[in-house]
Amino acid sequence: MNVMHKNKDYHLSANDIIPIELQTIRIGIIPGFNLFLQNMLDNKPCYILYNKGDHVIEKSHIEELQNNKVENLYILKSEQRKYFKYVEVALQRIVNENIDVKEKSYLVYNVAKNIMLDVFDDPRSGTNIGRTRIWVAGTVDFIMASEGASANMLSMVSYDYYTYTHCVNVTVLGLLFAKYLGLNVDSMHLIGAGLLLHDIGKTQVDSSIIKRNGRLSKDEFVEVKKHVEKGVSIIKQIGGLDDGSYYPIVQHHEREDGGGYPCGLGRNEIHQFGKIAKIVDVYDALTTRRSYSEARKPFSALTTMNGEMKGHFNLQYLKQFIRFLGSGEVFH
């Protein structure tokens, strides 16, 4: 096979490198990261530089690889974020390719994590907000078209809590739940974009409070609560979000019994997207590992939500959510 750039000094082990699907490679584009081929040498894998990051991949290269039954190329772990950004641009095409649903779920989830790292790094960037909308469009396509999307996407959800992974988890859970409830595609676009950005206001709250282990003082809690209004104000300044997408941001801490914030809205005043956002937000917070508590099992989290926290949620949606998780076989 025509290995374009023979390796000189790469002594890479399997620990330095990760496989990627050949079908995610885009033709006629400079990838921006090095691509490697795997060879077996004395029963051990070794990696040969196949395409330097600044070289265009031609159609003939891909065809040659396909003719040689190559399914995977390899990239450096250190260039993984570059790869996810490269996949992001073609996500809508990739989710429609004949790629294993597990791999698609992995890409969809990690592309979102990558976007959200950038959003939290630069929350006032209009470009980053635009990226979230494109991701939602690709992800809704994937979720609606793929039979196994639900179970696979749920298995991706991270158990370690960071604000940016929480946003991705909440969005994935919320979109899958929205599909279960029978929301239409337009509604899924709206709720998805809002869920992804629901905690963006946390970038404007003192990080020492956000990262605090354990209890907050009354004043600190007042500060944390401001993340809702601060989030709305950031998004309004940037623009580019549809009106319906504001509901998850504005209402994810409102409670059915009127005891929530920032407005203390009652049952009839909370939008459907706000009710869904409240449920998936609390569920993800309870089932991920925090610095001050272990991740709760789904059953235990739902018992709390349906018990001592009952007044916080719309009970019809909570019942449906419990059924949805049961149907997704996430109880473990």
Q: Which residues form the interface with Fe ion (CB under 5 A)?
A: 199
Task: Please count the residues of the chain.
Answer: 332
Q: Which is nearer to Fe ion, 199 or 284 (CB)?
A: 199
Q: Which is nearer to Fe ion, 87 or 170 (CB)?
A: 170
C-beta of 190: minimal distance to Fe ion in Å?
A: 18
C-beta of 227: minimal distance to Fe ion in Å?
A: 6
C-beta of 24: minimal distance to Fe ion in Å?
A: 33
Nearest to 180 by CA among 158, 157, 137, 149: 149
Quickly count: other Cβ atoms within 10 Å of residue 93's Cβ. Answer: 14
Strand ranges (DSSP E) for 54-196?
72-76
Strands 44-51 and 35-41: antiparallel
Quickly count: other Cβ atoms within 10 Å of residue 216's Cβ. Answer: 13
Q: Which is nearer to Fe ion, 104 or 275 (CB)?
A: 275
C-beta of 187: minimal distance to Fe ion in Å?
A: 21
In the chain, count of helices (H) and strands (E)? 15, 4
C-beta of 160: minimal distance to Fe ion in Å?
A: 18
**Residue showing the smallest CB distance to Fe ion in the complex:** 199
Q: Which is nearer to Fe ion, 88 or 199 (CB)?
A: 199
Secondary-structure percent of the chain, ordered helix, strand, coil, rounded to 5:
60, 10, 35
Q: Which is nearer to Fe ion, 192 or 328 (CB)?
A: 192
Place of tokens 């959200």: 116
